[in-house]
Homo-oligomer: A and B are copies of this chain.
Amino acid sequence: MTEFANRMDGITGSAIRELFKLLSNPEIISFGGGNPAKESFPVSDVTKIVNDLLTEKGEAILQYGPTEGYMPLKQAYTEHILRPKGLDANADELLVLSGSSQGLDILAKIFTNPGETILVEAPTFLGALQAFRMYQANIVTVENDSNGINLESLERLMRELKPKLFYCISTFQNPSGGTLPLEKRKKVAELAEKYDVIVIEDDPYCDLRYTGEVLPTIKQFDKSGHVIMLNSFSKILSPGIRVGMAFGNKEIIRKMTIAKQSADTHTSNLSQAIAAEFLSRGLLPKHLERINKFYAERLNTMVNGMKKHFPKECKYTIPEGGLFIWCEMPEGTKMLDIWKEATSKYNVAFIPGKHFYPTAEGHENTFRLNFSMETPERIEAGIEALGKLLQKYVK
């Protein structure tokens, strides 16, 4: 058979996706996924919006659109997403994406030659690792200290390895749930300029905040155009419509646009217009209020269950928002074995943490819990079951 390109060597698809396939059994209480709750979607608002859009400008919506994106979406994003965060953008600093994951693919494509370095947090988003691997990047993890990435490690790696990109989920990180402190945000922007490294600030969870204070983004400290911010409508509106946004230096946005042109021509106009209308009709704040209350309850239910049922040897940090809690069992615990027992005998699932690291070895004692997809009742039952199982492994 025809040989595939070298970039496909060892690329076998997401291990997590394979785990997901085992979870079609509805009897299993799943803390494994990362989807929004299905009850969170504003179905009737979207139905009304789509009706109005097709009635008022159906021919334009169904026609080809510009690669750069649907202008009303750029305007609504600037007004309703950026300005409330103290940011502002011209249209040529924005590119609409088919989900923010497209931004990871395109940024790796336009910036990295095979073998060049991309720095990532450890643990990090598996989809990013997969996108970067496809461009044969040298993926290197930055060390952590007690509150996120260690800046000395980051600076040393930037100096020594001359990376092209540093990939960072600054708020309610997937999978750790952590949020980068203010001072570190400032410093990341400074280091990016000093060492001429592009920071990809991926920020899909920032609006899912249940407690604590909003922090400025890394992008807000970017004086030199080295930070590209990626936002997504997946967690605040709908992942199924596939809409994200890149905001950055216009030269970079221009190159991204060229790359997107030959990748998918443009993002679905209907999807873009739905997102634009959802914002411009002022529906987002009320929607966020509703879903954040809803997610906060699920988070609290999970944390209360963990306090009650988990062994005290299992360490975790309670996140201020997002969708995930990151847990560490004592060194030497094999969470993959526990996963097998959990799914086959305890009808409860999570994701073993080792999948979130670029290297195959280590971190076998870690795991990620998601609290968005199950009802509070099922969260209580699932955490109790999981707690019982974990107890067996610390005795």
Residues of A within 8 A of B (CB): 1-8, 11-14, 17, 35-36, 38-39, 41, 43-44, 46-47, 50-51, 54-55, 58-65, 67, 98-99, 101-102, 104-105, 109-113, 116, 127, 130-131, 134-135, 164, 196-198, 225-226, 234, 237-242, 251, 255, 257-259, 261-271, 274
Contact = CB atoms under 8 A, between A and B. Distances in A.
Nearest to A11: B258
30 contacts: A1-B196, A1-B225, A3-B111, A5-B109, A5-B111, A5-B112, A5-B164, A7-B113, A13-B258, A14-B261, A35-B63, A38-B60, A38-B62, A39-B59, A41-B59, A46-B54, A46-B62, A47-B50, A47-B51, A47-B55, A50-B54, A63-B239, A64-B239, A98-B242, A99-B264, A101-B262, A105-B262, A130-B262, A241-B269, A242-B265
Contacts of A35: 63-64
Contacts of A11: 258
Given A6-B113, A111-B2, A270-B271, A134 B259 contact: yes
A238 B62 contact: yes
A47 to B, nearest CB: 4
A2 B226 contact: yes
Contacts of A240: 60-65, 268-270
How many copies of the chain does the oligomer comprise? 2
A265 B128 CA distance: 11
Nearest to A13: B258
A67 B130 CA distance: 14
A248 to B, nearest CB: 11
Given A4-B255, A63-B239, A263 B105 contact: yes
A35 to B, nearest CB: 5
A305 to B, nearest CB: 25
Given A1-B251, A7-B113, A17-B261, 14 more contacts: A11-B258, A38-B59, A41-B62, A46-B62, A47-B58, A99-B265, A101-B262, A127-B261, A127-B262, A131-B263, A239-B265, A268-B268, A270-B270, A271-B271
A81 to B, nearest CB: 19
A254 to B, nearest CB: 8
Contacts of A198: 2
Contacts of A5: 109-113, 116, 135, 164
Central interface residue in A105, A164, A257, A264, by most chain B CB within 10 Å = A264
A101 B112 CA distance: 23
Contact of A62 (B105, B241, B255): B241
A44 to B, nearest CB: 8
A17 B67 CA distance: 10
Contacts of A51: 47, 50-51
Contacts of A110: 4-5, 7-8
Contacts of A58: 41, 43-44, 46-47
A290 B205 CA distance: 47
Contacts of A225: 1
Contact of A197 (B2, B116, B234): B2
Contact of A63 (B36, B104, B269): B36
A147 B310 CA distance: 74
Contacts of A64: 35, 234, 239-240
Contact of A8 (B39, B104, B255, B265): B255
- Cβ-closest 9 pairs across A and B: A43-B58, A62-B238, A240-B269, A131-B262, A41-B62, A38-B59, A130-B262, A47-B54, A98-B264
